[in-house]
C-alpha cells in the first residue's frame, strides 16, 4: 500500500523558521550577493514574458469567486496570440522558413531540426513526432520514396529525451551543453535548423543555434519577446539576433496569463508557428494533401479559440478543474490514459512540477519519492514499445557523466551525483499498459481519466476501459464534438495532415486545466505562480521578483529572504511529506511579519 502524502499547511510551517524579526545566515546572504552581482544575465524582469499581465491580474480573486470566472480570466491571455500571428504568417520570415524546409526536403539529404529547452524542447519533440506520425498514419497513400521522408525531421531537447518526462534541472544555463547535443546529432549543411526559446534567452538553445550556424545549416530563431529588448540587455541574445546566418522570427504576443509561465501563450504561439510551417512545407512537397490544410491559419486558430470559449467548451474546462481539485484536496492521484496525445499530456504533466512545486513524475525504482499528482499511461502498449510508438522513433537520451558535468562548469552536486537521464533510466517510467497499484492503493481518491480528442477510436476505448477497471474512479474526458457523460470540452476540431488543431486543442485546454486547478487550490498569488521551484537561475530570479512585487521589498532583501527560506527547507526532514516551496515559505513569512507590524 502506498503511503498517504502528508500535506502541510504553509502557515503552520512558517513560525518554525523564526518567531522574531527576519534573520539571514551569512551563507544565505553570500548566495544572495553572488546572485545579484554575478548572475546579471539571468535577471530577466525586463522581459515582457516574465512580467505580470494586467489583463489577468485578478486571476486569484476570479477563481475565488467561481471556477468559470477563473477560466474566463485565463482565456483572455490566449486572445493576444492571433493578433500577432496574422502578421507573422503574412511576413517574409515565415515564407523564408517554409521555403527552406521545402528545399531541405527536395534535396537528397538534410533534415528539418527543431531545438528547444523545457516546454520548447518538448514542443520540438512533438513537432518531429507529428511529422513522423503523418507518414505512419497515411503510409498506404504514399510511395516508398515518400515514406522515406519520415526520417527527414529531428529534434534536440536540452538534457535529451529524458527531459520530456522530468525536468533536467540546470542544463538550460549552459550553452556548451547545447553545442554538444547539436554536434552529437550531426547538425550541418543541408539542414533547416529551427531554435525555439520562449523568452529568446535560453543559453542551451542558443548554443545549439550557434553550432548549427557555424556548420552550414540554414538557421532560424523563434522567440516571444521584443527583439530590440533582448538585443539591448543580453549579450548572448545580441550575438544570436545579429548573426547574419540566422533569420529571426519574433512572435511577441504579450505577457503570460500566469506571470512567467511561458509554457502558456509563448509556447502555444510557437507551436502554432512551427506546426503550420511544417504542414505548409509538407503540402508543397506532396501537393495532393494541400486540400486538407487550412487556407488561413489565423482564422483556423481563432475558430479553435472560439470553440474552447463557447459555453460547452468552458463548461467542460470548469468540470475538469473541479474534478482535479476535488481529487487532490482528498490527497488523491489522477492517472490519464491517452494514445494519440500522450506527448501533449507529458508536456503539461512535466511542466506542472517546477511551475507549481509538485512531485515530479516518478520512476518505478524511486519508491521513496512521492507519487506525482498526475501521470500518463497508454493502454495500448507496454512501456518500452510505448516510448517508440509515441515518438515514432527510438528515444535519444544522454549518457551524462561526472566528467561532463565538470567540463560544463556545473555545480558540485552534479559532479558528485550526475543526473540519471540515460535510455535505461527513461524506461523505468512505466507509461505503458502495465498495472499501477502504486497509483491506486493508499489514496482516498484514485482516478483513471480516459482522454479522447476529436474522435473515439474503438480499439483505444476498449483498451482504456480494460486498464481503467483497476481504478476505483473512472471517467471519460473528451475534447471535441463527441458527447460523453464524463468531462466534455465541446468544440469542433478541424482536420489537417499533421493534426495541428487536435494537438493545439489539447495544449490550450490543459494549459487552462492545470493552471486553473492550481489557482483554485491557492498556489497562485495575484497572477503569479507563488509555488515555483527555484531549480535554475531563471526561476531563482523569478522567485525573487515575485517577493519584490507582492511584498514591496527591494531585490536585495528578496534575494536574501529566498535563499534563507531555501536554507531552512533544506535543513528539515521531509520524509513522507511533500517538500515545501522556498518561494512560498519566504512569501508567507514576509506577509506574516508585515501583518504583525500593521497591528
Domains of the chain: 25-52+527-598 (no CATH), 63-520 (3.40.50.10490)
Half-sphere exposure of 128 (CA within 13 A, CB side): 32
- The strand pair at 524-525 and 528-529 is best described as antiparallel
Contact 303, 82 (CB under 8 A): no
288, containing H or E segment: none
Can you say whether the dihedral through the CA atoms of 476, 482, 487, 493 is positive or negative? positive
C-alpha cell at 66: 467561481
For residue 281, give the nearest of 501, 500, 85, 97 by alpha carbon: 97
In the chain, which stretches have pLDDT less than 50?
A: 1-9, 15, 18-19
Report the pLDDT value the prediction gives residue 17, as an integer from 0 to 100.
55
Rounded Cα gap, residues 470 and 16, in angstroms: 42
Report the pLDDT value the prediction gives residue 8, as an integer from 0 to 100.
44
C-alpha cell at 442: 493508499
Q: pLDDT by residue (tens digit) across 2-13?
A: 333 334 445 555
Report the pLDDT value the prediction gives residue 1, as an integer from 0 to 100.
34
Q: Which residues pair with 197 in a beta bridge?
A: 223
Q: What is the CA radius of gyration of the chain?
A: 23
Rounded Cα gap, residues 43 and 544, in angstroms: 10
Question: Strands across the sheet with 487-490, in order?
Answer: 374-377, 333-337, 446-453, 473-480, 487-490
DSSP 265-333: HHHHHHHHHHHHHHHHHHHHHSGGGGGGS-S-HHHHHHHHHHHHHSHHHHHHHHHHHHHHHHHHHTT-E
Q: pLDDT by residue (tens digit) across 581-593?
A: 898 899 889 988 8
Task: Collapse the DSSP code of 561 into the 3-class scheme (helix H, G, I; strand E, B; otherwise coil) and give the result.
Answer: helix
pTM for the whole thing? Answer: 0.90
Q: What are the Cα distances from residue 27, in Å, to 85, 96, 310, 558? A: 47, 52, 53, 15
Q: 362 CB contacts (<8 Å, ≥6 apart)? A: 369, 370, 371, 372, 375, 429
Contact 298, 155 (CB under 8 A): no
- Phi and psi angles of residue 85, each rounded to the nearest 5 degrees, phi first: -65, -30
Amino acid at each position: 500500500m502506498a503511503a498517504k502524502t502528508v500535506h502541510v499547511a504553509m502557515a503552520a510551517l512558517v513560525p518554525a523558521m523564526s518567531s522574531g524579526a527576519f534573520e539571514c545566515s551569512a551563507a544565505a546572504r553570500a548566495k544572495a550577493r553572488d546572485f545579484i552581482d554575478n548572475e546579471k544575465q539571468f535577471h530577466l524582469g525586463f522581459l515582457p514574458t516574465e512580467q505580470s499581465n494586467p489583463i489577468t491580474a485578478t486571476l486569484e480573486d476570479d477563481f475565488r469567486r467561481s471556477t468559470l470566472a477563473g477560466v474566463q480570466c485565463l482565456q483572455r491571455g490566449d486572445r493576444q496570440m492571433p493578433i500577432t500571428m496574422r502578421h507573422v504568417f503574412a511576413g517574409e520570415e515565415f515564407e523564408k522558413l517554409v521555403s527552406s524546409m521545402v528545399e531541405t526536403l527536395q534535396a537528397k539529404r538534410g533534415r528539418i531540426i527543431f531545438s528547444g529547452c523545457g516546454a520548447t524542447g518538448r514542443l520540438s519533440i512533438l513537432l518531429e513526432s507529428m511529422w513522423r506520425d503523418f507518414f505512419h498514419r497515411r503510409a498506404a497513400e504514399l510511395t516508398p520514396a515518400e515514406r522515406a521522408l519520415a526520417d527527414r525531421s529531428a529534434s534536440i531537447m536540452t538534457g535529451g529525451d529524458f527531459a520530456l518526462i522530468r525536468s533536467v534541472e540546470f542544463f538550460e544555463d549552459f550553452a556548451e551543453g547545447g553545442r554538444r547535443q547539436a554536434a552529437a546529432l550531426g547538425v550541418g549543411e543541408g539542414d533547416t535548423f529551427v531554435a525555439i526559446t520562449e523568452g529568446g534567452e535560453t543559453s542551451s538553445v542558443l548554443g545549439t543555434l550557434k553550432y548549427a550556424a557555424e556548420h552550414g545549416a540554414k538557421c532560424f530563431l523563434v522567440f516571444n519577446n521584443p527583439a530590440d529588448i533582448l538585443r539591448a540587455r543580453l549579450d548572448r541574445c545580441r550575438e544570436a539576433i545579429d548573426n547574419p546566418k540566422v533569420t529571426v522570427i519574433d512572435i511577441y504576443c504579450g505577457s503570460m496569463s500566469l506571470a512567467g509561465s511561458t509554457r502558456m501563450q509563448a509556447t502555444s504561439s510557437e507551436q502554432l508557428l512551427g506546426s503550420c510551417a511544417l504542414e505548409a512545407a509538407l503540402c508543397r512537397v506532396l501537393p495532393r494533401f494541400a486540400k486538407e490544410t487550412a487556407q488561413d491559419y489565423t482564422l483556423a486558430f481563432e475558430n479553435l479559440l472560439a470553440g474552447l470559449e463557447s459555453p460547452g467548451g468552458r463548461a467542460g474546462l470548469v468540470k475538469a478543474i473541479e474534478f482535479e481539485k476535488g481529487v487532490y484536496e482528498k490527497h488523491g492521484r489522477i492517472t490519464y490514459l491517452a494514445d494519440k496525445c500522450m506527448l501533449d499530456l507529458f508536456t503539461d504533466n512535466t511542466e506542472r512540477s517546477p511551475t507549481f512545486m509538485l512531485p515530479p513524475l516518478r520512476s518505478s525504482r524511486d519508491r521513496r519519492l512521492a507519487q506525482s499528482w498526475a501521470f500518463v499511461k497508454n493502454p495500448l502498449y507496454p512501456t518500452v514499445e510505448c516510448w517508440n510508438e509515441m515518438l515514432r522513433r527510438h528515444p535519444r537520451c544522454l549518457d551524462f557523466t561526472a566528467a561532463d558535468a565538470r567540463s560544463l562548469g556545473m555545480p558540485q552536486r552534479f559532479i558528485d551525483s550526475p543526473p540519471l537521464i540515460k535510455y535505461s533510466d527513461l524506461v523505468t517510467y512505466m507509461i505503458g499498459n502495465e498495472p499501477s497499484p502504486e497509483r491506486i492503493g493508499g489514496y482516498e481518491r484514485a482516478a483513471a481519466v480516459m482522454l479522447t480528442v476529436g474522435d473515439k477510436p474503438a480499439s483505444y476505448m476498449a483498451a482504456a476501459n480494460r486498464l481503467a477497471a483497476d481504478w476505483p474512479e473512472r471517467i471519460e474526458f473528451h475534447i471535441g464534438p463527441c458527447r460523453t457523460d464524463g468531462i466534455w470540452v465541446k468544440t469542433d476540431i478541424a482536420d489537417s495532415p499533421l493534426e495541428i488543431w487536435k494537438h493545439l486543442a489539447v495544449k490550450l485546454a490543459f494549459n487552462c486545466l492545470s493552471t486553473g486547478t492550481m489557482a483554485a487550490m491557492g498556489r497562485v498569488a495575484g497572477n503569479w505562480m507563488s509555488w515555483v521551484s527555484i531549480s535554475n537561475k531563471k526561476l531563482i530570479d523569478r522567485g525573487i521578483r515575485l517577493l519584490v512585487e507582492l511584498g514591496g521589498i527591494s531585490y536585495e532583501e528578496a534575494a536574501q529572504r529566498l535563499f534563507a527560506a531555501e536554507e531552512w527547507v533544506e535543513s528539515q526532514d521531509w520524509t513522507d511529506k511533500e517538500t515545501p516551496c522556498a518561494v512560498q515559505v519566504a512569501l508567507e513569512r514576509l506577509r506574516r511579519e508585515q501583518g504583525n507590524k500593521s497591528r
